[in-house]
Amino acid sequence: MVSQLNARHKPKFQLLTFYKFVDIPESELDMVAQEHLDFSRDIGLKWRIYIGTEWISSTVTGNIGQCKAYRMFLDQSKYFKDIADIDTKLTRVDGHEFPRMSVKIRNEIVTLGVKVTADQVKKYKKEITPTEFKEILESDKKDDYIILDMRNDYEYRLGHFKNAIPAWTVNFREVPKLLEQYGKYAEWKKVIWYCTGGIRCEKAAVIANQLGDTEFLSIQWGVVKYVNEFNDGNWLGNLYTFDGRVSTQVGDEVTHTTIGECLYTNEKTDNCENCRYPLCNARIIATEKAFKKHLGFCSKECYEWARLDGFVKDAPWDKFDYKNIRLQEGGMEQIQLHLDRKLANTEWKFLTSQKEDNIVEC
């Protein structure tokens, strides 16, 4: 799914995404989280907030009035006031991007097996502003840096900064043990690493800068801040977001470049979907035409599993009612006949599920 708003359109909803490293006593976590949940639900916000002893991370949507009330609530909190990036990462949207509201308690803001305190963040974090990063990308100094994309593989393939290379971290928890390897690869260069909202890389940079000689820099407030501020073509492709937009266009007809390649045909596309076999649900880049031709399955394996159990996610373009038919007598035979009629002669590029074992969000 690709989302783009017309330049003349003025949406009346806002998407707020922010984080803050803050020390919250464990004895107060339940109370703080419950207050946050009650207030957010009462004013009508939707999606997800994480709270832990070291942090808060929030991504919510609401109309302008709801978001204003939420920000006043934060400003009155002894833990959540003075959040620096709340304005710079605000995005206007047409409506709620999520179906519900939840507040969850997590042990760590990012699972690295190591907690950080607010004081450690102040002491060890090293970051550059989007403006400073832009100057590096557009100058001869770029050869003095290694730029690492710390997101999931499919996010990198959908879009990334110029000159960035994927870190190939299967799980963000691998970062501490890979720090020495990153340092050796960088040699005398500095490392700039980035993620969508900045949260993962800021914590990782704190840990990295305590351990070795290589300097690890995070981009202040991540990709979201940069692409909100600059329309310069330094970002290639679309930006994957963990909300209803999924694949969001960056740039305009002059600066936008499509780099995603269709899973099935290798054609260039910005479209991103999920495999329709629920137990897979792989994030896949694919043209709408090819995705529909394969009935939304990423692989032969997912098609064959769907034949066995009849589980297929709904899609507006596929009118076959898998859920209800599966419950009827002889329903599985109908599903198998339908799938075989559509796919029996399909040549599959991938025989096994394309699901990534570990998905990290930020």
Residues 6+ apart with CB under 8 A from 356: 152, 153, 154, 170, 282, 283
Q: For residue 319, what are its two tokens?
A: 């009118």
Q: What are phi and psi of 273, to 5 degrees?
A: -135, 180
315 DSSP assignment: B
Distance CA 347, CA 105 (A): 45
201 catalytic per annotation:
no
Distance CA 12, CA 175 (A): 40
Distance CA 16, CA 191 (A): 29
Catalytic residue among 67, 195, 280, 302: 195
Residues 6+ apart with CB under 8 A from 46: 60, 61, 62, 96, 97, 98, 99, 100, 101
Place of tokens 């009035």: 65
Q: For residue 172, what are its two tokens?
A: 């963000």
Cα 216–Cα 141–Cα 184 angle in degrees, nearest 5: 40
Contact 56, 85 (CB under 8 A): no
Q: What are phi and psi of 82, to 5 degrees?
A: 60, 50
Q: For residue 198, what are its two tokens?
A: 């900045």
Residue 253's nearest CA partner among 6, 2, 11, 1 is 6
Q: For residue 238, what are its two tokens?
A: 């679309």
Q: Is 248 helix (H, G, I), strand (E, B) or coil?
A: strand
Catalytic residue ranges: 195
